[in-house]
Every structure is written in structure tokens, then in C-alpha cells.
A and B are shown apart, each in its own frame.
Chain A
């Protein structure tokens, strides 16, 4: 209902405004005056009414008579304002004074009290008047303001509606009347004020297609009590169609019946057009995007949280087996088809694009679930949105075909290059306009030039063999003039080494549209070999022709059918017929009639079996005589196809032989007779022979045995045997020597020289001695080093004699080869021994000679101490010398075995005690105790020798022991021998010396002999003694802890 009133107010307001615009200022004044008169009149009238009422009701009013007057003041002031109120107050005071203040009905006042009452009344009435008039003023002002506001609102609304081209309608559903404003009429293409307010008129304006829908929308809005909104078309009187949007609201009465509907209409033509355009553009864009061949268009956005998502992606992505809808939900799907590395590469490129706002352009392979690999070219352009997000629009082009084409092109290029390299041809390319000349490296390489040489065509041309230059020019020019299909020329060129090489140059020119040659391209082949072969062939053909004509045999050639096409001079001589007579099958009829069939048969046989035709037959000469010939022929075949071209053959005159054969036949007959006679004689002789053979066989057997014996002696001799021929090459060698050398006989005989099997140094010796052997007849003790097959060498001594023929000419050598490795080793040992002994002898001699020499000078004559010291030195070293010499003698005697040991049964204990006694004195001097553990055993040995061994060991032990330690000598009976052991607590022997200490002069420390007074032979002597007894000697030791020497003597 409020809405209704508002709308009504609007309508009223609208009219009011209209009226206000028409009234004059005079009329306004009149109204104000009338209004003032009314107010004052009302003030007088209300006072009169208050007077009457007070008069009538005075009985009940005592003592408050002024009530009604106060009410009169209030009412008067409410109605007329302050001034009419004042009139009421004055009149009321007068009335109260006159009528109700004693003296009654007089204006005089007798009592001060009554006067005060009147004054108070006046004040109270004035107060009421003031308040009431203020209240009235405020109320008026509010009313005026709200009226003004309503007017302004209405005006604004009107302006807005006008500006918005918005129409207003109001439909009274009950009466069916419709009210439109001016804009509404305009929107429906009607002239202002021409709408007659009927629904039919409205309906007639609608587009026929929209009528039903609009009606339905209205009904629905009413039924469902929703606000109505609908877009529809109207047709103007000029036939143009316009889009309208209508909105409205329905009003219902108390029973829920729709009574009224009001709302607006709006022109939406432009929006509709824009919407249409937009739709069309979208359709176009998506058509472009979705039909993009081999690719897709997309837009991605980098959100503020760093995540990426597609805002759009065209259906081209289905090429990769992906659905655009899936990608919009999960953008990662698209990148999952790339390999790990490519994924990183793409993400990096995207980051770079976003950070620098640069374009993205990247090529990546994609591995589809089908197993296919497709190449993508990703391109995108980024832009930054105002809210900080980044959007990039991109294209993903499938460039697989491009890649494949690229690869194919490359492959073709490679294949072409390979082909060029493979056929070994050079390539040239000559621009005939600029005369620019390209030569592939192979061109120069063929001739031996490097790439810096022979640059232009002129350079190249200058190297062509002078006589060939013209041919080359002519041939090339002829091709340029299109006289030949292809350029093809063989010519010679100067190669770097100064020789000429034959080249085959082939090519093709290109002509422009006017027929002018612009370019020529071709290849160069080295045909030197072919040329050489050709020339050789020509040469040989020439030679053959001259050979044929001059040959001492008759030569003929026939075609495939046997027709003669060539005969040489000699053939004519032999056969007795000329070429003319022989040509074709003429020759056949010159054959002896008896031979013709045979010759033909043989001829065909040999053709069938592909064999050489060989036959003896006769020609009948014109004088009737016969010539026997031996004819031979072979098929002449094409080299490549093997097709028979004809036959070529010879005839030899064998008449003489044939006559001889005939003569032979008669001789044979005679011989046969003689043979029979001889056979009888032979049978006799045969019997004799059989007996003789038996004797011989026995002799042979004996010989064979002898040979075997000799061979065994030769091959298995303990030395090598060898024989060399005069050049020094092996012609014989025995098994022993072969074994030494490691070769087989076949590897050496007639293949190796003596010098091949000796060291470089020995070659000189061989070269020096072999001529000597040949000259003098023998050599002896030639010592050389031979080399085995494995490269190792060994020394040999060779004794040889020369074997000569009767005339004394040298045939071969016979040599004995002795392996002297062992001898050499012994010599080396001997040399070493001499060296050591020499040194060991000279050392004490030095001190002796030195000290004695000094004494002799007399410089110490007055220095007896020094002189004495010199004598001491001499004496000490003399003793050392004596010990050394006696040790060497002992050892020599023991090792030579010349002195047989005199063995007897000895008490072990006795031996041990005697040994300890012999060293006891010196040992106690050095504060060393010797402990002995004797056993009651006997041993069969040479007592002096065993004693010497024990003494040596004890004295060694003593030497290497520190003072106040002990040395232990013990013996033990074992199953077959007695084991002696000498243990000390000395410094011990390093592991690597445990064996060598038993050698001569092999002290652990070289200086030991000087310091300890030993000779370096003691243990060697012990070893010899023990070994002479058939025992063993060894030592066990720990460095720093001591050593134990053991030796055994068999029982």
C-alpha cells in the first residue's frame, strides 16, 4: 500500500510541479492574505468561545476560571501562529478582567491579587503561545522542506529516465488500463502522447516471435510473485526492429489477487549488437584456434601463489591425446609427456620468460603414450597484469614433419656426400658468368695438390696437357652450344709429382631462359689406370697382329658358324689354299674327303664340351698331294658376357711326323719278333736276379739299421751338430741343437743363416771366422752367443771343419756346437773368487807393508811407542793372513775331495767337550759361558773334521755374542742321524742371508771379517765337512734374538 501511495504521490507531485509553473505571484499574495485574515478571525472567535464556555460552566470552574482561555490561546496559536495567539491573549485578559475579576463586568481591578492573577495568566498564555507558535513553525518548515525534496526528486528521476531512455509503464490489471511515459512511447516508436493505454496497442508493437515468450514471462512473474524481467523485440512503424528489456513488479490486493503491475523498459539494441559481435568473434576465434593445423593456441596465467593454469587451450591439443577440459583442470598433464630433461628446460624457459617478460621460443620432443615422438615448437608472449599476475598467450606448433624433412634432407645430403666420396670422383662447379670455379678437395687430391693450390679455372686449365687443351675447349664449347647432350671429355693433367694423369671429366651445363649457358656442374674421375689398360690393350693387339702374320704356325679365325674370316700367310702356305679359296666354308672342301666327317664331328664335340678342338687331318693341295696338319682351335669369347664370338685356331704342318710314324710302324713289326727272342733270354737272367735281390735286401736292411744308428748318434749327441753352406745358411742341424734353440728343423734349414741365430756382437765373430773356416779348412773354440727362438741367449763354443769336393771347392761346413753356459758360470764364479781373495789378501798386506815400511824409514827410532804399535799392526795382520791362507787350503782340500776322510766310531760327548775346550779360554776372556748338553751316543765320522766344524760354529757364536751371555752346544739322537746345534743370543741373521752365510766370504756384514777377526770361510768349511759326511747344515735365526746353527751327521 505504501508503494501505491508513493506512486500516487509521484503522480500528484508531477502535476503539482506542472501547476506551480503556471501560477502568478499575485495569486500567491492573495492566498497569503486570505490565510492571515482567517488566522486572526479564528483567534477572536476562539476567545469568544472560551468566554461563552467559561460563562456556562463557571460553577464548576471556580477558582480556575482561566482554563478555557488558555485552551483558546493554545488552539489559536496552533492554527494562526504567534500573532493571532497574542490577539487571543489580549482578548482573554480583557474578558477575564471584565467578566470574572471583581468588580464583575468592569475593567477596573480592585485587588492586587486579581491583578497578579491576570498577569500570571498573561505570562502562562504567552508561554503557551510562544511554544505553540514555535512548534507550528517547525512543522510548517518540515512540510515545506519535504515538499521541496519531493519536487527535486521527481525532477531528477525524470531527467535520469530521459537520459537513460528508460520508459515507465503502469498497468492496472483490474481495468486493463496502461499508462506510459513519453520515453516509453519513444522506445516503442510512437509519437509522444499517442499511446492510447490499451494492451492491444502494446501487443501490436511486439515482434511476432517474441509475443508468446513475453506473455509467458509476465504470467510467470505474476504467478510466482517474482520480479519480472524479459528481453524482447519491438517493430517500429518504419519496420525497424529494436531490442527492449522490460522489468516490472506486480502488486497484489489483500486476497492475493494481482491488481497492478508497473515497471520500466530500456533500449538494449547496442548491448544486443555488442553481444552478437562478441559471440561471432568468439566463434571465429575458437574456429581459428580449433582448426589450427598441427598445433594449438593457449593462454596460461601465473597466479600470485606461483601456480600456473590454463585459461584457454584450443582443441589442437587432442593431437597429443589430451583433452582441453582435462588440461584446464590439470595443466601438468601437458608437460608430463616430455622427458625429465626437456621438462626442466621448458620450466626454465618459462621462468625466464616470466621474469624478463621476454618471448618464449623453444623446440622440444614429446613422447606420446602411443610411443610416437612428436616435436613441438613452443612460442609465447608474456604480459603482466595490473594485479601482478602474468599471462602468456602462446602457440604450440607440431613441427615433427618439419623435423623429419630436415632429417631427411640432412640424410640425403650425407648420402650424396658419401656417394661422392665413395666413388672417388671429384666435383666441379663453374659459374660461366662470373667464371667462379669450385673444385671439391678430391679434384686436387687426385693430382696430389693440396687445397691451397689450383684455385681458379685458369689454374686448372694451365695444368692440362698442352695437346689436350684444345680438345677440352672444343668439347666444352660444343656442349655449351647444345651440340652434345652431356659434356664428356678425357684429357691429361699435370699432377704434383710431374707426371700426367688421365682424367675423365663429365658434366652438364644449365642455360637460362634465353638459352645462354650460365653454369656447368660435373665430376672428374681418375681414369689413368683404365687409360693405361686401354693403351696396353691396343699395344698388345698391335703386337698380336704382327705376331700372327709372322707366326711359324698357320692361324685362322672363323665366325660362330665356322666360316673363315681370317687366315695368316703361313696358313695359306700349309694348307695350299688362298684366303679367297678358304673364306666361308671354302676351307672345308679343301680337306681330304676321308677326314671331313671326322673333323666336323670333333669340331662339334669340342664346342659342346667347351674344350679345345684338337685334331689331325689332311689338306689336299691343288697338285693332289696331301699335307698332314695338327689343328687346334678355341672359342673366342666376349670378356664380360662370355658369348662366343667365333673361333680362333692354328694349324701345324705335321707331314714329316706322319711319315715318320708310318716308318715307325714297319720298324715295330720287326722289333716284336726280336722281343720274343729276347724274352726267353731274359727269363733266365730273371732267375739270377731274384737271387741277387734277396742278397741286396739283406744288405739294405743292414744299411737301414746303420743309418738309424748314425742318425741317433747325430741327433741325440750331447752336443750340437750343424752344417752350413758356403753362404752360411743351415743345411743340416741335429735334434740336440734344435732343442737348445727352440726351433723346428723346417724353420731353420735353408731359411736361416748362422748370423740370424747369434747376438749382434757375435755376428762379427761369425763373419770373421766363417771365411777362415772355408779357407783353412777348420776352426776351433770359436765362442759366440746364440739366440733362442724366445730371444734368450746362451754361450756356445764351435769347432768346425770344411767339407770340400774333389777339386777342393768348399761345399759345406761340419760343426760341433758345445753349450758352454756351465763353463761360463764356473769361470764367472772363479773370477769372483779371485777378486775376493785378492782383496782379502791385499788388505792385511797393506797394513803389514805400510807399518813395516814406516818403521824402516827410521822416523820412529826415537818414538818406541809408535814403533811398537806399528809392529803390532804388522803382526795382527800377519796372523790374519795365515788364518786366511789355511782356511782357503782347508776348503780347497775339502771341496776337491782329494783327501778322503778317515772315519771311525767317535763318542759324541768327547767331540763336544774337545770343541768347547778349544774355544773355552777365549770365550771366558770375553765373559761368555758355553753350556754343553752331552749325550751318550756314538757316531761314525772323521773326528778332526767334526771337531773343526763344531769349533768354527762355537767360535762364530762367541764372536757375535755380547759379554755375559751364554752359548749352548747340544746334540740329539734322531732316527737316522745325530743333530748338533749351537745356539747363541747374538744379533741374529736377516732372513735373506740365511742361505748365503754358508758361501765363501759371505759374512752378513762385509766389515765382520775385520772386526771379528774371521776370514769369511769358516761356515763354508763347516758346510763342506758336513756334506762330506752326507749330512746337512742350516741355520734358524731371529734378528736381535740370536741364531741356532744345526748340522746332522748320519749314524
Chain B
């Protein structure tokens, strides 16, 4: 099995850094890191990636719109999306469950088990 390639979309610079470190240094995966939704959509379309770790609150394009545009595009429709979000209220959870994403991981997350959590959601064993 080749190395997994994860696209990280988050507007918080330091969170990006931490997530990247978790996945590369602990998970041993490859990552592509972008800081905006539009950029993320371009990468998702042009690069071969296995999953997207997506922040919900972003200035240019929120997670919902990002996911919808991903679904509308035939080439990106099949990519698994996991939300990585600080929105943890029950009303937020209800919205996420209706989206059809592969899974939701709350912020703050456990850096040591982040990659395992992702693998569990996506059945990567």
C-alpha cells in the first residue's frame, strides 16, 4: 500500500502546522497543506489525494460550501472528507451529520491519536 496522501484545509496557520506534524511525523503520511477553501478545491481536483481534513469556519469558503462544491464535481466527488472543527455544540453536530461527510473530529484533538482516528473513520488498516 502506497503512502496515504491527505489534504489539510485550515485557515489557522498554527493549527495547520500541528496537524501536519501529527500526520507526517506520527502517522507517516504525506500531506498537502492549504490555507483557503478555493485553494483546497484546486488541489483536490488536480492532485491525487486519499482524504481531506477540512476546517469548517474559514473566511473565503466555509466547510459546507467547500463540501458541496466537492460533491458537485465528478472528479472530486469520491474523495473522503473528515471535518476537523471547533464547533462542538449539538446544533452544529446536527448540521454535520446531514452533510454526508465521512466523519467529524473535534478540536482540540489528541495529537498522538489523530492519525489513528482518521484511519479508523476511513477503514484504513
Contact = CB atoms under 8 A, between A and B. Distances in A.
Given A853-B112, A1006-B59, A846 B86 contact: yes
A857 B26 CA distance: 9
B89 interface: yes
Interface string B83-111: 00011110110000000000000111111
Interface in B7-54: 11-15, 17-19, 21-22, 25-26
B94 to A, nearest CB: 13
A850 B111 CA distance: 5
Interface stretch (A630-638, A834-842, A1022-1030): A834-842
A854 B18 contact: yes
Contacts of B111: 849-851, 853-854, 857
Contacts of B89: 831, 834-835, 838
B112 A842 contact: no
A842 B17 CA distance: 16
A850 B109 CA distance: 7
B18 A873 contact: yes
B22 A843 contact: no
B115 to A, nearest CB: 12
B25 A846 contact: no
Given A838-B88, A842-B86, A859-B26, A850 B59 contact: no
B12 A854 contact: no
B26 A850 contact: no
B18 A851 contact: yes
Nearest to B111: A853
A877 B106 CA distance: 18
B57 interface: yes
B89 to A, nearest CB: 5
Contacts of A1007: 11, 58-59
A838 B93 CA distance: 14
A842 B107 contact: yes
Interface residues of B, number: 28
A849 B57 CA distance: 20
Nearest to B84: A846
A1035 interface: no
A839 B87 contact: yes
Contact of B57 (A839, A846, A870): A839
A956 interface: no
A846 B109 contact: yes
B4 to A, nearest CB: 19
B108 A854 contact: no
A835 B86 CA distance: 9
A565 interface: no
A839 to B, nearest CB: 5
Contact of A1005 (B13, B59, B106): B59
Contacts of B18: 846-847, 850-851, 854, 870, 873
Contacts of A859: 25-26
Nearest to A853: B111
A935 interface: no
Interface residues of A, number: 30
A856 to B, nearest CB: 8
A1019 to B, nearest CB: 18
A1010 interface: yes
Contact of B108 (A835, A849, A873, A876): A849
B13 A1010 contact: yes
Given A843-B12, A1006-B59, A838 B21 contact: no
Nearest to B21: A854
A839 B88 CA distance: 8
Contacts of A873: 14, 17-18
Contacts of B87: 835, 838-839
Contacts of B21: 850-851, 854, 866, 870
A869 interface: yes
Contacts of B109: 846, 849-850
Nearest to A850: B18
A989 to B, nearest CB: 15
Contacts of B57: 839, 1006
A845 interface: yes
Nearest to A863: B25
A847 B14 contact: yes
A835 B26 contact: no
Given A835-B92, A843-B15, A1005-B59, A854 B22 contact: yes
Contact of B12 (A831, A847, A857): A847
A919 to B, nearest CB: 24
A636 B107 CA distance: 99
Contact of A854 (B15, B25, B92, B106): B25
A952 B52 CA distance: 39
Contacts of B14: 847, 851, 873, 876-877
A847 B14 CA distance: 6
Given A842-B107, A845-B108, A850 B92 contact: no
A1008 to B, nearest CB: 8
Contacts of A835: 87, 89, 91-92
A447 to B, nearest CB: 58
A873 to B, nearest CB: 5
A858 to B, nearest CB: 11
Contacts of A866: 21
Nearest to A834: B89
Interface string A862-892: 0000100110010011000000000000000
B11 A857 contact: no
Contacts of A853: 110-112
Nearest to A856: B112
A1006 B21 CA distance: 25
A853 B26 CA distance: 11
A1012 to B, nearest CB: 13
17 contacts: A834-B89, A838-B86, A838-B87, A842-B86, A842-B108, A843-B107, A845-B107, A845-B108, A849-B109, A850-B108, A851-B17, A853-B111, A859-B25, A870-B21, A876-B14, A877-B14, A1006-B58
Given A843-B86, A846-B15, 11 more contacts: A834-B89, A835-B87, A842-B107, A842-B108, A849-B108, A849-B111, A851-B18, A854-B111, A859-B26, A877-B14, A1010-B11
Question: Which 3 pairs across A and B sit closest by C-beta, in order of nearness?
Answer: A850-B18, A853-B111, A842-B86
Interface of B: 11-15, 17-19, 21-22, 25-26, 57-59, 86-89, 91-92, 106-112
Interface of A: 831, 834-835, 838-839, 842-843, 845-851, 853-854, 856-857, 859-860, 866, 869-870, 873, 876-877, 1005-1007, 1010
